[in-house]
Amino acid sequence: MTVSNEQVTPPANSPGASALSQTGVSAAGRPAPDGHGPAVAVRLTEVSKAYRTTGGPQLLALDQVSLTVGDGEFVCNIGASGCGKSTLLNLVAGLDQPTAGQVDTGGRKVGLMFQEPALFPWLTAARNVELALRARGVPKSERQARTQELLETVRLGGFGGKRPHELSGGMRQRVAMARALAQDADVLLMDEPFGALDAMTRDLLHDELERICGERTLTVLFVTHNVREAARLGDRVILLSSRPGRVIEEYVLPRTGHRRIDSPEVSEVAARLTDRLREEVGRHGS
Residue 285 has pLDDT above 80, yes or no: no
pLDDT digits (tens, 9 = 90+) for 115-167: 888 899 999 999 999 999 998 889 988 999 999 999 998 889 889 999 999 99
Question: Which residue type is seen at 115?
Answer: Q
pLDDT digits (tens, 9 = 90+) for 266-283: 888 889 898 888 888 777
Task: Provide long-range contacts, Cβ within 8 A and 24+ apart, for 152-158.
Answer: 153/178, 153/181, 153/212, 153/215, 154/178, 154/181, 154/208, 154/212, 155/208, 156/125
Cα separation of 143 and 147, whole Å? 6
Q: What's residue 121's pLDDT? A: 94
Q: Checking DSSP bridges between strand 40-51 and strand 59-70, what pairing results, if any?
A: antiparallel
Class of 4-108+186-284 in CATH: alpha beta
Domain extents in the chain: 4-108+186-284, 120-183
Q: Write phi, then psi, for 156 (nearest 5 degrees).
A: -125, 35
What share of the chain in percent tops pLDDT 70? 86
Task: Count each helix (H run) and each strand (E run) in the chain, helices first.
Answer: 7, 10
Residue 31 has pLDDT above 50, yes or no: no
